[in-house]
Amino acid sequence: MAYVNPLHAPVSSSHRSGYSSIGGAVHNAPEPSKFLSPFRRHLPQATYTPISKWRTSTGRTNTLHNTVTFDFLGYNKQGVPMRELSTRGSHALAAMIHGANDLVLAHTRLTRITLVIIWPGYEHVEWSRTVEIHPDGPITRSALGAAVAMNFARFMEKSRNERAMSPEWQIGISGIRFEHVILLSLRNVFEDVWQADVAVDLR
């Protein structure tokens, strides 16, 4: 498996060898996913719906604002590890992330959004938090990613002692840890409510 270096562009497929020492032992290989890492999987989250039937019937459920994506330079739809977003400074992130300094939500005129996390098997753990997106002017892609990562870190800290209803997605030392979580995008699901599209990479 190739190591992904966020500071350098990926090697073109035309410059990679197709040879594998275990190629002859592989039979009926599944269709490759869109992820470059074979260890990376989407986290299947339920889409947020309001508890109030009145809000559901009167609120705006269609997407109004564009999805905000997160990728290393030179990559597409691979995401950015949340540990990178939470530990790197703005200058380092600018050198690593595509459009790191883009003012991604400036057009929305929102001053804050609500981030909801619905982790499979932990639906009983409520997580709905306000994220300020105009603290010192419109928020950048990297700052928004850092805010999302901080919320996931706190959610996972809160959830690690909770009973997981889905062992496959269990959070904890012997399960999924914060360093395994990849931020792919942030999407608007209801009025001012947003959810992160997330992958898990257990390599």
Q: According to the model, what pLDDT value does residue 65 have?
A: 87
- Which of 40, 105, 107 has the alpha carbon at shortest distance from 77? 40
Confidence of residue 14 (pLDDT cuts 50, 70, 90): very low
Higher confidence at residue 50 or residue 56? 50
Question: Is the pLDDT confidence value at 58 over 80?
Answer: no
Question: Is the pLDDT confidence value at 22 over 50?
Answer: no
Per-domain residue ranges of the chain: 43-201
Measured distance CA(13)–CA(158) in Å, rounded = 42
Q: According to the model, what pLDDT value does residue 136 have?
A: 72
Contact 85, 127 (CB under 8 A): no
Contact 125, 118 (CB under 8 A): no
Which DSSP string corresponds to 79-114? -EEHHHHHHS-HHHHHHHBTTTT--TTGGG--SEEE
Question: Is the pLDDT confidence value at 137 over 80?
Answer: no
As a whole number, mean pLDDT of residues 160-170 equals 92
3-state helix, strand, coil in the chain (%, to 5): 25, 20, 55
Lowest-confidence segment of 23-32, 41-50, 109-118, 138-147 by average pLDDT: 23-32
Question: Is the pLDDT confidence value at 38 over 70?
Answer: yes
* pLDDT tens digits, one per residue of 69-97: 999 999 999 999 999 999 999 899 999 99
H-helix segments, 33-170 = 53-58, 82-87, 90-96, 141-159
What separation in angstroms does the CA of 63 have from each of 24, 66, 145?
Answer: 47, 7, 20
**pTM value surpassing 0.85:** no
Beta-bridge partners for 171 = 176
Measured distance CA(153)–CA(155) in Å, rounded = 6
Measured distance CA(84)–CA(70) in Å, rounded = 12
